[in-house]
């Protein structure tokens, strides 16, 4: 809500400023304003600039906060993705185990069916042998009383009788052995079948457990995937919010540039209204201690938050406290402090030309004071939006900044 009010005030300020200016940004003076009116206008514009700077700071803070939120969300999303990748590996391992178990269970089923078949064949064989043995036993039992007599009558001699007796004994012994053998085979097959069925049951239980584990992991993957989608949605929303803040920031930076341009126009008009004598016959380098230009006139990257990306002057790097001198004779129209320019001085030289000296550590002149060319007016500093000790030197011609190198070298 606070930001909305600030933006509304700034919008009204911009409307007021534009109303006072032409399309080219120059001050429109239909009825030439008085010095006091210009001073009042300068104060209002300075307040507008301060509001714009505060709004820019706030927007940059919002952009940074949203950027940090996006970074945290991306980190959480990345960590969650790593966890899902681990779950995927476990799920794949369990799926492989399930496939192996299902294959083993199928193999056991095939073995059990084979054993069932063997058991059925063994039981059929045993039943056949049993039926045959039963017939022989019944036959011997039914003719048991005649067996010895028949054996003596039918035998040709003693040797034949013994052979027949031995044969009957062997048949009886064979039946007994066969009975025991078939019983052992049947019992063995039944035992093997029971073991296979037990193994199959155990594998089914293990399969059920593995499937339960896989289902739990699949459910966890689904939940985490939804969480990732939620993070992505938040990231997209935050990115959109950040984009809106950046758009507002561009608007405020444009507003700040216009307000600062209007301040320069008012300063020039103010100088002319005050007197504007002093002449503009020649300009000298404003910082005798250094000729090192750290930032030229024109397009550039902002060196610090709040600084303009279009530089309307020269930055001259020098030691803190180094002398700043008037580039030409004139009258001081402004000697004050601004949150963006720091301690700064504006000198009118007549003919619609003014010079600007910003970021001073201290000011040695006052508003309304006449100065001579080369006179020490301030000390190099780093006040306002500044990254280190330097002088920002600008030249205003008819209300617009120009390249200082056109006047000094």
234 shares a domain with 130: yes
Q: Which of 349, 363, 364 is nearest to 394 (CA)?
A: 349
- Provide the domain limits for residue 399: 275-409
In angstroms, the CA 354 to CA 327 distance is 10
In angstroms, the CA 363 to CA 354 distance is 17
Q: What distances in angstroms separate CA 283 from CA 90, 218, 277, 365, one per listed residue?
A: 79, 79, 15, 19
Total domains, the chain: 2
Instruction: Give the pLDDT score at 229.
Output: 82
287 shares a domain with 254: no
In angstroms, the CA 177 to CA 181 distance is 6
287 shares a domain with 152: no
Instruction: Give the pLDDT score at 158.
Output: 60
Instruction: Give the pLDDT score at 16.
Output: 44
Considering 244, 274, 304, which residue would you say is the last residue of a domain?
274
215 shares a domain with 77: yes
- Global pTM? 0.42
Q: What distances in angstroms separate CA 382 from CA 287, 308, 316, 321, one per listed residue?
A: 15, 16, 12, 10
Q: What is the CATH number of the domain that holds 249?
A: 1.10.287
In angstroms, the CA 163 to CA 169 distance is 10
326 shares a domain with 259: no
In angstroms, the CA 365 to CA 370 distance is 9
Long-range contacts, 204-213 (Cβ 8 Å, 24+): 204/105, 206/101, 207/98, 207/101, 207/102, 207/105, 210/94, 210/97, 210/98, 210/101, 211/98, 213/94
In angstroms, the CA 310 to CA 307 distance is 9
In angstroms, the CA 348 to CA 329 distance is 8
Percent of the chain that is helix, strand, coil (3-state, to 5)? 65, 15, 20
For the chain, the distance separating the N- and C-terminal CA atoms, rounded to the nearest angstrom, is 49
283 shares a domain with 141: no
308 shares a domain with 246: no
35 shares a domain with 173: yes
173 shares a domain with 28: yes
Q: Do the beta carbons of residue 101 and residue 207 sit within 8 Å?
A: yes
213 shares a domain with 76: yes
Instruction: Give the pLDDT score at 386.
Output: 81
**Sequence-separated (6 or more) residues with CB below 8 Å from residue 165:** 151
For 83, the 3-state DSSP assignment is helix
Q: Which residues of the chain have pLDDT under 50?
A: 1-30, 144-146, 148, 275-281, 300, 306
Q: What is the CATH number of the domain that holds 309?
A: 2.70.70.10
Instruction: Give the pLDDT score at 21.
Output: 43
In angstroms, the CA 401 to CA 409 distance is 17
Q: What distances in angstroms separate CA 345 from CA 42, 56, 112, 139, 397, one per listed residue?
A: 14, 24, 104, 143, 16
299 shares a domain with 213: no
**Sequence-separated (6 or more) residues with CB below 8 Å from residue 358:** 313, 341, 342, 343, 344, 384, 391, 392, 393, 394
292 shares a domain with 266: no
Instruction: Give the pLDDT score at 365.
Output: 96
Q: What distances in angstroms separate CA 151 from CA 136, 146, 160, 162, 172, one per listed residue?
A: 16, 8, 9, 9, 16
In angstroms, the CA 378 to CA 324 distance is 5
Please give the structure tokens belonging to residue 300: 């550039």
Q: Which of 264, 275, 281, 244 is nearest to 49 (CA)?
A: 264
* Strand partners for 376: 325
In angstroms, the CA 236 to CA 259 distance is 35
In angstroms, the CA 293 to CA 296 distance is 7
Q: Which residue has the tokens 């030249």?
A: 395
Considering 253, 274, 295, which residue would you say is the last residue of a domain?
274
Considering 220, 247, 274, which residue would you say is the last residue of a domain?
274
Residues 44-93 have pLDDT tens digits of 887 887 787 788 788 888 888 888 888 888 887 788 777 777 777 777 77
In angstroms, the CA 315 to CA 391 distance is 6
Q: Could you say which DSSP state residue 354 is in?
A: E
């Amino acid at each position: 809500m606070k930001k909305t009010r600030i933006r509304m005030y700034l919008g009204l300020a911009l409307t007021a400023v534009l109303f006072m200016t032409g399309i080219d940004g120059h001050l429109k003076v239909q009825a030439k304003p008085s010095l006091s009116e210009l001073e009042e206008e300068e104060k209002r514009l300075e307040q507008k600039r301060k509001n714009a700077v505060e709004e820019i700071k706030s927007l940059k803070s919002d952009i940074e906060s949203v950027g940090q939120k996006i970074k945290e969300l991306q980190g959480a999303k990345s960590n969650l993705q790593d966890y899902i990748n681990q779950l995927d590996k476990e799920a794949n391992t369990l799926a492989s185990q399930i496939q192996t178990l299902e294959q083993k269970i199928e193999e056991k089923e095939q073995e059990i069916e084979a054993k069932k078949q063997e058991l059925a064949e063994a039981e059929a064989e045993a039943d056949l042998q049993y039926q045959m043995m039963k017939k022989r036993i019944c036959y011997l039992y039914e003719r048991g009383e005649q067996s010895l007599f028949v054996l003596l009558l039918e035998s040709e001699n003693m040797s034949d009788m013994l052979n027949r007796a031995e044969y009957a004994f062997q048949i009886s012994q064979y039946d007994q052995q066969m009975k025991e053998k078939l019983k052992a085979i049947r019992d063995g097959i039944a035992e093997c079948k029971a073991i296979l069925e037990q193994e199959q049951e155990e594998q089914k239980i293990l399969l059920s457990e593995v499937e339960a584990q896989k289902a739990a992991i699949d459910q966890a993957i689904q939940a985490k995937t939804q969480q990732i989608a939620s993070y992505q949605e938040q990231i997209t929303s935050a990115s959109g919010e950040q984009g809106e803040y950046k758009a507002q920031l561009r608007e405020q930076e444009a507003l700040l540039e216009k307000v600062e341009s209007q301040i320069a126009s008012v300063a020039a008009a103010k100088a002319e209204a005050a007197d504007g004598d002093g002449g503009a016959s020649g300009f000298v380098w404003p910082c005798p201690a250094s000729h090192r230009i750290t930032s030229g006139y024109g397009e550039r990257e902002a060196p610090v938050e709040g600084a303009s990306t279009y530089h309307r002057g020269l930055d001259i790097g020098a030691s803190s406290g180094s002398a700043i001198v008037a580039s030409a004779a004139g009258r001081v129209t402004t000697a004050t402090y601004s949150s963006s320019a720091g301690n700064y001085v504006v000198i009118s030289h007549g003919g619609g030309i003014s010079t600007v000296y910003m970021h001073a550590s201290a000011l040695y002149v006052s508003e309304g004071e006449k100065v001579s060319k080369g006179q020490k007016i301030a000390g190099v500093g780093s006040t306002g939006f500044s990254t280190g000790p330097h002088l920002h030197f600008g030249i205003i011609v008819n209300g617009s900044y120009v390249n200082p190198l056109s006047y000094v070298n």
